[in-house]
């Protein structure tokens, strides 16, 4: 079993670290365009094997995709990260060309590969990867909903307070500061609605904090976050490789589901060895449907930018 991570920056390296320590695959390949970086991080990670007790073989490669041949899953983290004040949408002109090229190179050597997109703007990059590759829709997955849901649970756990592990709380819609939809109505703490523990004002504050969770970290760190995104990417790899049939929100292609077509956007799906295997209908109420439709409109508008790129 082989997994590839493209991009040896903070997110890619963290994703690779999580994959190795969990022993999700036998061989892990890290690819980066910058000379020596992937090789150096692969060697550094391999030197933790005895300390951490894993046997995953990690290989680094500077832009040589032949080493990725036979990968079951590939995670694309390539592209420039956000800087303070920069929206995910502003990254599109730069990152679109990178994601398209990486997707082509991966599939050249691993035509049966399932591809996970982390690169921003994630919804549009997922759509681009699907359309440019011609792959079946179940084999292209955007990671964003898992990360946004983890942030939602963090803010809920701080407000209640409780362990985030005792919460079920999901975020759907676009992976953007104004497009994501924290589903507070459906969130539970050990099976009890969180509305039993939070008043309306606190619940609204939690949702608002979740929506700007990435921007908050970017302002603090001076760049995009990496621990949670990397861990989220690794968890998605694990669900595929181990055929977990896990239900998580991911960015996938809709063809009528949730009233939307020809768009990649976050909805709850079942993840297993075939990629995303089923879309789950959360039975949104009228207000949530309206929010979802507005989110889809915003993502679709961003997708239109792709037609202007050379």
Give the residue numbers marked as catalytic: 175
Residues comprising the chain, all counted: 310
What is the rounded CA–CA span in Å between residue 117 and residue 142?
5
Closest-CA residue to 116 (of 93, 147, 85): 147
Q: How many helices (H) and strands (E) does the chain have?
A: 10, 14
Task: Kindly state the greatest CA–CA separation across the chain.
Answer: 55
Three-state DSSP class for residue 113: coil
Q: Which two tokens stand for residue 300?
A: 């679709």
Q: Pairing between strand 2-6 and 73-76?
A: parallel
Residue for token pair 């898992």: 146
Residue 80 sits at φ, ψ, to 5 deg, of -80, 145
What is the rounded CA–CA span in Å between residue 114 and residue 93?
25
What is the rounded CA–CA span in Å between residue 102 and residue 281?
32
């Amino acid at each position: 079993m082989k997994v590839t991570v493209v991009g040896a920056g903070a997110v890619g390296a963290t994703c690779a670290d999580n994959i190795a320590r969990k022993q999700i695959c036998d061989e892990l390949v890290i690819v980066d365009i910058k000379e020596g970086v992937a090789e150096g991080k692969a060697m550094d990670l391999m030197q933790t094997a005895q300390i951490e007790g894993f046997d995953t073989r990690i290989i680094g490669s500077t832009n040589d995709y032949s080493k990725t041949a036979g990968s079951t899953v590939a995670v694309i983290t390539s592209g420039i990260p956000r800087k303070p004040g920069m929206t995910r949408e502003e990254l599109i002109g730069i990152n679109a060309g990178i994601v398209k090229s990486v997707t082509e190179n991966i599939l050249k050597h691993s035509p049966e590969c399932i591809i996970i997109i982390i690169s921003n703007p994630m919804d549009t990059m997922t759509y681009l990867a699907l359309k440019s590759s011609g792959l079946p829709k179940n084999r292209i997955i955007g990671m964003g909903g898992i990360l946004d849901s983890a942030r939602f649970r963090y803010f809920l756990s701080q407000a209640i307070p409780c362990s985030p592990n005792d919460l079920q709380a999901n975020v759907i819609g676009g992976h953007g500061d104004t497009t994501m939809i924290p589903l507070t109505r459906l969130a539970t703490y050990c099976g009890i609605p969180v509305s039993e523990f939070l008043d309306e004002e606190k619940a609204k504050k939690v949702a608002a904090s979740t929506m700007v969770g990435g921007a908050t970290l970017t302002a603090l760190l001076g760049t995009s976050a990496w621990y949670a995104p990397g861990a989220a990417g690794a968890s998605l790899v694990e669900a595929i490789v181990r055929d977990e049939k896990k239900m998580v929100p991911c960015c996938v292609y809709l063809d009528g589901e949730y009233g939307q077509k020809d768009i990649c956007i976050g909805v709850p799906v079942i993840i297993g060895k075939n990629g995303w295997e089923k879309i789950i209908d959360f039975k949104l109420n009228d207000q949530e449907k309206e929010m979802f439709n507005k989110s889809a409109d915003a993502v679709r508008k961003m997708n239109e930018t792709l037609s202007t790129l050379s």
